Structure 1
Amino acid sequence: MTNGKRRSLFGALLASGAITVGVHPAAHAEPKPDVKHVLLISIDGLHEQDVARCISANTCPNLAVLAQSGVTYTNAYTPGLSDSFPGLAALVTGGSPKSAGLFYDVSYDRTLFAPSDTTCSGKQGWNVVFDETTGIDGENGGALTHLDGGGAFNPQAIPHALVGGVCVPVYPHNYVKTNTIFEVVKEHVAGARTAWADKHAWGYDWLNGPSGKGVDDLARTEINSIDPSTGTDYTDVYSHTEKFDTYHVQAIINQIDGKNSTGTASASVPTLFGTNFQTLSVAQKAPVAKGGGYLDASFTPGPAVTNAIAYVDDALGRFVSELKQRNLYSSTAIIVTAKHGQSPTDHTKLVKNGDTLTKLLEANNYLDPNGNFGQNNTASGNLNDGTGLVGTGFVQTDDVGLIWLRDRSQLNAVVSTLNANLGCNAPGICADGPQAYILSGSRLAERFGDPAAGRTPDIIVQPNPGVIYTSSTKKDEEHGGNAPDDSHLGLVVSFPGIRHARTIDAPVHTTQVAPTILRLLDLKPEFLHSVAQEGTRALPGLGLGHGHEHEHDE
């Protein structure tokens, strides 16, 4: 396929998720909501089709009730990448990876020095790993034995940077490039309290934002820790993930009840709080042969996904019930969405040929051979055991390929090699279909930032939808890329002040959630750096100002 055709295809993909909307009055003017609290819920893996199907089939009655006092967005998309980091950053910064600087929880930065290089005098270029091993349990490749990740940061996970001539550690909150809604709310709402609960105990420290203090009550819970009652982590089967998610359900209920997340101390009800659910994601990824995933291309859920949706819906009902019991429901906006979807939901499109992308790069000497690049060459196999290599470049693959080259002068040669191997037969990278693309150069810089600045990948490969660069038999779906199934998400914004339930079909991005939250709380969206930089608008249809709305009442 020619570069010209690839360019037009990519332009069409971007157009399908465009966020620019004109101004048009709503069909029904709504009174401005009197919102004192915002509860943000991320149900990882929740596609728009899941929302539509479960509401139609009455298998998510609590979500349906929220939709009846809210706005449902049928064309909400992630901002170009769908890993958990950029997916959540969209919701809480209002920005894409271009401004927020988060591409994946395992990524690369050419400007950083190794954790052991406390004087910043050695080579630059470090594989940044902010995942389950960011907690001190992961030090020296140790077992993840504590639910709280060990209670501190793993020093081997914290790289260094030269800032004003001083060599300083780069914690996750230093790594995110823009502020978060938590910081803005704390700064501009008198007496505000903020809270969040997520899947990794220490890797999600970046939610605090550059101040390091945005979240008053950040639950330190690690999904990959070993449950002593089973001897496995909480991702082995979706029903076990429910146990982990239930810790977060209880945290939210505790906070609604005027306590901290653990229920051990009194605290004011957060102005902004929320949590992430992993149960649906684990159920979707499970092999279809073992009851996971979907039964057909119409998003008919298999037994695990059916049960996972029922579990999460019950949790939503518990939140609403508790809010009503505490007389908070009428002053609380509830936003239900996801960091990402999963791909492919149609099992017949699944292609797992192994990591042919990395193998192709190694075979042509664009990466050190035999996996000896970045922290793929460590003593323990743990990415944060302190023995990784510096300055080697890195490749991150799932259903996408992010490439940070060892030698940036090889860019054109690498792109030529990739374009010469687009087929699905080895050594091809399975990117020969109409929805696949290879992004580099000025087009990549315009969309995601200039790779020369250090953070942005040199090349992004979006393979054919359904391709996962793995040969593992443990998962039949993944996320991270920009395929339709992992980028098209469910999004419902609900509060009792809305008199007319409505559906808006205009394309929106999940980045629009963050400025919407600030407008609900009578704050200026431009307080968010990403919103100011990218011009992100609040969601239409909520009586908050502007928005060209293609909508119909329910």
Structure 2
Amino acid sequence: MLGLESTGPSGKGVDQLFTPEINWVPADYTTNPYDCMKYDTLHVNAISNWLMGITWDNKPFTTPAIMGGNFQFYNATISGGYEADGKTPNQVLKDALNFIDDSFAQFYEAALKGGIADRTAFILTAKHGQSPMKPSQYKGIADTVVPAALEAAGIKAAKAAQVLMANASSLSIAEVLYGSQLQTGGYAGVSPTDPHAPDLITRVDVGVIYVGNPAHRTKSAEHGGINLHDRHVALMLSIPGKGYLTRHFQEVKTRQVAPTVLQMLGLPYDSLTACALEGCTPLPMMSHLLG
């Protein structure tokens, strides 16, 4: 979690870094979502302090221009987030959403106390979703089966893709992307010859989670895939002085958050290396909201 006064490669951009370890001894907050809420509360209180002009440990502090953090509460649960219909939040998810809602209320109250509420924007989104949403779609598969198939095929992407698709049913693979398909699929966004790009990407059947021991179920949903529920997340933006609610149904991307923040600060967002390379722009509604 960061409080940023300035950005750039100077090495002096972070005013205060607050990163308590979630697995610290003697308390491991990952085993129970409600214990994890206690961990999240540490972050919430630290950000609230920054908004009021004090450090996380209650010392005088100049409020940073940019602050950020995350919530781990829901991600810690093994019970899944929805009832059998895959649409109705279960009690754990309801409690997680209410906790986040209360946390943003605390942020706003802190901004009021710090005298900056009229010039503070809030952005809430997620870096990933969780799949499956419907508990009955869960299918745990040993995480050794895909590497074993690739080792048998060799390491060439084209050959590996052929073998994986030939065994798609037993491996629960829906699609394999490699080469130019990574570009047209919009998943990698870089040249297939770039050594940093993956040689291939597999899209598994909805509900599939590769686990160490399929007989021992430790969770009902996971992230990291490229199916709909993995990639589609909510994004909410609150700008001071805009006292109305509006919904935008056009597709946007979370990578547009960073240039949006810079635009609100009056800084050139295209100076970000990622924006220059990928052509990402601020959220499309910003010109209307800031106008």
TM-score by length of 1: 0.48
1:361 alignment partner in structure 2: 150
Structure 1 counterpart of 2:96, which letter?
Answer: A
Structure 1 counterpart of 2:147, which letter?
Answer: T
**What does 1:49-64 correspond to in 2, within 5 Å?**
none
1:337 corresponds to 2:125: yes
Contact 1:515–1:538 (CA<8 Å) still a contact in 2?
yes
**What does 1:365-444 correspond to in 2, within 5 Å?**
366=154, 407=155, 410-423=156-169, 428-431=170-173, 436-444=174-182
Structure 2 counterpart of 1:463, which letter?
Answer: V
2:56 alignment partner in structure 1: 261
Compute the displacement of 1:240 (Å). 0.8
Deviation digits for residues 101-132 of structure 1 (CA, Å, limit 9, x no counterpart): xxxxxxxxxxxxxxxxxxxxxxxxxxxxxxxx
Gap change, CA 1:439 and 1:311, over 3 Å in 2: same
Q: 1:429, 1:211 → 2: CA distance?
A: 47
Deviation digits for residues 501-536 of structure 1 (CA, Å, limit 9, x no counterpart): 211001111111111111111111101111111111
Structure 2 counterpart of 1:412, which letter?
Answer: A
**What does 1:103-142 correspond to in 2, within 5 Å?**
none
Compute the displacement of 1:477 (Å). 0.5
Structure 1 counterpart of 2:93, which letter?
Answer: V
Structure 1 counterpart of 2:19, which letter?
Answer: R
2:24 alignment partner in structure 1: 225
**Match 1:459 to one of 172, 176, 200:** 200
Gap change, CA 1:249 and 1:500, over 3 Å in 2: closer
Compute the displacement of 1:249 (Å). 0.9
Matched residue count: 283
2:220 alignment partner in structure 1: 476
Q: 2:243, 2:19 → 1: CA distance?
A: 38
Structure 2 counterpart of 1:219, which letter?
Answer: F
Contact 2:153–2:163 (CA<8 Å) still a contact in 1?
no
**Match 1:234 to one of 24, 29, 33:** 29
Structure 1, 305-314 or 244-253: larger mean CA deviation: 305-314
Deviation digits for residues 475-496 of structure 1 (CA, Å, limit 9, x no counterpart): 1100012111121111110023
Compute the displacement of 1:461 (Å). 0.5
1:215 alignment partner in structure 2: 14
1:347 corresponds to 2:135: yes
Gap change, CA 1:412 and 1:540, over 3 Å in 2: closer
Structure 1 counterpart of 2:68, which letter?
Answer: G
1:525 alignment partner in structure 2: 269
Contact 1:238–1:279 (CA<8 Å) still a contact in 2?
yes
Compute the displacement of 1:329 (Å). 1.1
Q: 2:85, 2:232 → 1: CA distance?
A: 15
**Match 2:75 to one of 278, 281, 288:** 281
1:247 corresponds to 2:42: yes
Compute the displacement of 1:421 (Å). 0.6
Deviation digits for residues 118-166 of structure 1 (CA, Å, limit 9, x no counterpart): xxxxxxxxxxxxxxxxxxxxxxxxxxxxxxxxxxxxxxxxxxxxxxxxx
2:101 alignment partner in structure 1: 313
RCO greater where, 1 or 2, for CA within 8 Å and sep 6 or more?
Answer: 1
Contact 1:520–1:544 (CA<8 Å) still a contact in 2?
no
1:65 alignment partner in structure 2: none
1:88 alignment partner in structure 2: none
1:297 alignment partner in structure 2: 85
Contact 2:242–2:289 (CA<8 Å) still a contact in 1?
no
Contact 1:519–1:544 (CA<8 Å) still a contact in 2?
no
Gap change, CA 1:253 and 1:337, over 3 Å in 2: same
Structure 2 counterpart of 1:281, which letter?
Answer: N
Secondary structure at 1:437's aligned position in 2? strand
1:395 alignment partner in structure 2: none
Task: Quote the RMSD (CA, aligned, Å).
Answer: 2.4
Structure 2 counterpart of 1:279, which letter?
Answer: F
Question: For structure 2, which runs of at least 5 residues remain unmatched after alignment?
Answer: none
Structure 2 counterpart of 1:319, which letter?
Answer: F
Q: 2:178, 2:109 → 1: CA distance?
A: 50
Q: 1:483, 1:211 → 2: CA distance?
A: 38
Contact 2:52–2:113 (CA<8 Å) still a contact in 1?
no
Q: 1:341, 1:303 → 2: CA distance?
A: 18
Percent of aligned positions that are identical: 34
Contact 1:357–1:469 (CA<8 Å) still a contact in 2?
no
Contact 1:296–1:346 (CA<8 Å) still a contact in 2?
yes
